Amino acid sequence: MSLPDLFAGIAVGFAIPQVALEVDRLALVKYAGAADDYVRQHWDHPFMIALGYPDVIGHGWLTFAHMCRAVTDWAPPSRATITRYAVRYHKPFHPGRLTCGGTVDSVEHDRLTVAVWAKDAGGSLLATGHVTITPFAGSPD
Amino acid sequence: MATITELQPHLVRLRERIGMTGPAITKKIEAGSLIKFARATGQTDALYLDEAAAARGPYGAIIAAPTYVSIFCHDTLADLITFDLPLSMFLHTDDAVELGPPIRAGDTIDAVARYADAYLREGRNGPLLFQIAEVTLTNQHRAHVATVRVGAVSFDSGG
């Protein structure tokens, strides 16, 4: 299946549907358990206050997981495969509203790249990245 | 607050690690682990969450959500990247990942990390010490599953 068949009419500049959710401290605890990531910044409120932060900080990988989810909600794994991604975290995320989205920034013969972003409740840019997908080519075995 | 000059010996010690690899770890991937991760990251697709539906799907089993590869970082990097520095805080700065075939329930994944780089920069509020490492994942078929490049920065929070 070629990419045009899969994403007919998708051109550079196309904005994928956004994902918006509340990420509270419970969500961070659930993620910590699921990811085996118990770094103190994500759960120890007094520790973070003592360091001058207003609250605990969300896991960067959790923010990015939701950025990827904006892509996989639009191009689910039965139709497309993520082959590459990269993310840069610009600002710590404190529990609250998280909105993720993206814009198609390249369409090639066999792949498509989405420039993805995440913002907090105040609209501050938390992270930006790129996710590259190819049409699903079947199971490897 | 530590100065760039005071941090130089620490940087020298860290840069001696460049190219070093940590101990390999092996994880047998259970469907429950993949489902728990998918739920915690808000996924709704049946291939990530529903064993029966996924068994009938293109991979024949539950597959890992795209960022599941991150769960290998903590254990593999524990002996390589160090935050035992005269800086009060560290944060995750960036990731870059190349993915092979998705991890499936029932896979056995080997993971090994390599220390890639360390460098100092003067930030607006003091020195920033960056460390970078790369984790390579392979499956039971010796197929490349992922290369995960992770960056972190240590600094003084001033708190």
Q: Residues of A with CB below 8 A from B71's CB?
A: 34-37
pLDDT of residue A107: 93
Residue of B nearest to A83 (CA): B99
Which residue carries 């990097």 as its tokens?
B77
Q: Does B126 touch chain A (CB under 8 A)?
A: no
Cα distances from B101 to residues A79, B75, B142, in angstroms, run: 14, 22, 12
pLDDT tens digits along A39-79: 999 999 999 999 999 999 999 999 999 999 999 999 999 99
**What single-letter amino acid sits at A68?**
C
Q: Does B125 touch chain A (CB under 8 A)?
A: no
The CA distance from B140 to B27, in Å, is: 10
Q: Residues of A with CB below 8 A from B33's CB?
A: 34
Contacts of B143 (CB under 8 A, 6+ apart): A140, B100, B101
Residue A51 to residue B157, Cβ atoms within 8 A: yes
pLDDT of residue A139: 59
How many other C-beta atoms can be found within 10 angstroms of the C-beta atom of residue B54? 25
pLDDT of residue A6: 66
Q: Is the pLDDT of residue A109 over 90?
A: no
All residue ranges of chain B with pLDDT < 50 are: none
Q: Is the pTM of this model over 0.90?
A: yes
Q: Is the pLDDT of residue A3 over 70?
A: no
Split at pLDDT 50, 70, 90, the class of A141 is low
pLDDT tens digits along B25-61: 999 999 999 999 999 999 999 999 999 999 999 999 9
